[in-house]
Amino acid sequence: MKNFKRYTVTSALPYANGPIHIGHLAGVYVPADIYCRYLRLRGKDVIFIGGSDEHGVPITIKARKEGISPQDVVDRYHEIIKKSFEELGISFDIYSRTTNKVHYETASEIFKTIYEKGEFIEKVTEQYFDEEVNQFLADRYITGTCPHCGNENAYGDQCEKCGTSLNATDLINPKSTLSGSKPVMKETKHWFLPLDKYEPWLRKWILEEHKEWKANVYGQCKSWLDQGLQPRAVSRDLDWGVPVPVEGADGKVLYVWFDAPIGYISATKELTDKWELYWKDSETKLVHFIGKDNIVFHCIVFPAMLKAEGSFILPENVPANEFLNLENDKISTSRNWAVWLHEYLKDFPGKQDVLRYTLTANAPETKDNDFTWADFQARNNNELVAILGNFVNRAMVLTHKYFEGKIPEITEETDYEKQMLAESVKIKANIEYSIENYRFREALKEAMELARWGNKYLADTEPWKLIKTDEARVKTILNISLQVAANISTLIEPFLPFIAE
């Protein structure tokens, strides 16, 4: 495994059209935070980049519904999201936003570089147009009947009932959500990234050079590549977004899939004037934390953009998680079936780590998983309290009771003490291996294992009985117990930063 001088770690930019829920946390932000905290504990040079994705049609739809501007929508949710991340201890080095001036400049520069190299295809295509409101219609502004399942309220990009991806032209009886009228087809010019041109390179780069990627990531990439890649539009007719920076592109903005990942780069520019070290130096390891719905964009589309631009490093790994369900039902923002982070923090003050613990212990790393309140309660009571809390509490209380809270010296080490300290070293190595391989559930389990060992050690040695006959032995037992407690506080810090402190 190559040793890197520094690390650039990104987490998917959440859409600023609603707050964060536990599905987002389990899939992306908690694992990314664990990884970055771990790297910092190892003394590594790491930057952890986050930010709000503030362009795209869902934001304009929300603004139109509420009778406010898209900027009002993103201002509201950016603040809610940013504050709740801070309160949960997600340790971003910067949490930026894609409506910032530096982002508009960066996205424009990257587009222009690719454009001037002649990498884009310019095409005139026909697209749905609403004559009543005099506007081209983005996919989400068109509804109709799904040709696969007959759902009459399918969107122009996807049927939410059967889950099938669609094109707006696939819909039966399409209508505009803006006016309710039937749209007409009208010619419009757009720029496309020829993904098919990069397919041979992508096949080699992913399928041969990155066989270590998680099975779900590798499998989804292989499936896309095997179907054959098609050119993808990088612009669209919309008045909300980064304007396409070329002549003859009035009323056109960069497609959100093109502009959003550039947000990682623009945020780094905001953070440090040494930003190029983190994006252009081959001794930097780039890691993207995302959910499974973002795999194609981060493993195929964004790398093709960076390759076309020509001066950026490519991701070394993209550890995507599957989805988290809630009480055996799919999390749904439209049905308000979710546990919202800002509400959780209000209802459970001081319990950030209980949520972090439950989401990590139950993380959907290899398959969709389920969050239940019964499991949340059981993990708090039976693990955090009964194992971790119980051990640390006993070690502290007994030290105060017998030795006025002063750490006693070791009088004589038996094989049991040597085994306890050796176990700490072994567990540390296991945690490091698991985190390096993005297996955070396994790593957390190992960290808790040391607390189990501590409880067993106290139960076996019974210092509360020995104190009457062998105070010297009790000194050794409590010294070792406190050493183990100190080791635990270091080992759990990436997972449970508040408890660790």
pLDDT at residue 448, rounded to an integer: 97
Question: Residue 47 and residue 284: Cα distance in Å, rounded?
Answer: 11
Token output for 213: 């990627």
pLDDT at residue 141, rounded to an integer: 86
* Length, in residues, of the chain: 501
Question: Residue 60 and residue 66: Cα distance in Å, rounded?
Answer: 10
Question: Residue 435 and residue 437: Cα distance in Å, rounded?
Answer: 5
Q: How crowded is residue 92: how many other Cβ atoms within 10 Å of its Cβ?
A: 22
pLDDT at residue 308, rounded to an integer: 97
pLDDT at residue 1, rounded to an integer: 59
Beta bridge partners, 15, equal 53
Query: The whole model's pTM is what?
Result: 0.94
CA atoms within 13 A on the CB side of 140: 11
pLDDT at residue 24, rounded to an integer: 97
Each residue's pLDDT expressed in tens, for the chain with a length of 501 residues: 578 999 999 999 999 999 999 999 999 999 999 999 999 999 999 999 999 999 988 898 889 889 999 999 999 999 999 999 999 999 999 999 999 999 999 999 999 999 999 999 999 988 899 898 888 888 888 999 999 999 998 988 888 788 777 888 889 999 998 888 999 999 999 999 999 999 999 999 999 999 999 999 999 999 999 999 999 999 999 889 999 999 989 889 999 999 999 999 999 999 999 999 999 999 999 999 999 999 999 999 999 999 999 999 999 999 999 999 999 999 988 788 999 999 999 999 999 999 999 999 999 999 999 999 999 999 999 999 999 999 999 999 999 999 999 999 999 999 999 999 999 999 999 999 999 999 999 999 999 999 999 999 999 999 999 999 999 999 999 999 999 999 999 999 999 999 999
- What counts of helices (H) and strands (E) characterise the chain? 20, 15
Q: Measure CA 322 to chain center.
A: 11
Q: What is the DSSP letter of 21?
A: B
Q: Measure CA 277 to chain center.
A: 23
Question: Residue 286 and residue 381: Cα distance in Å, rounded?
Answer: 38
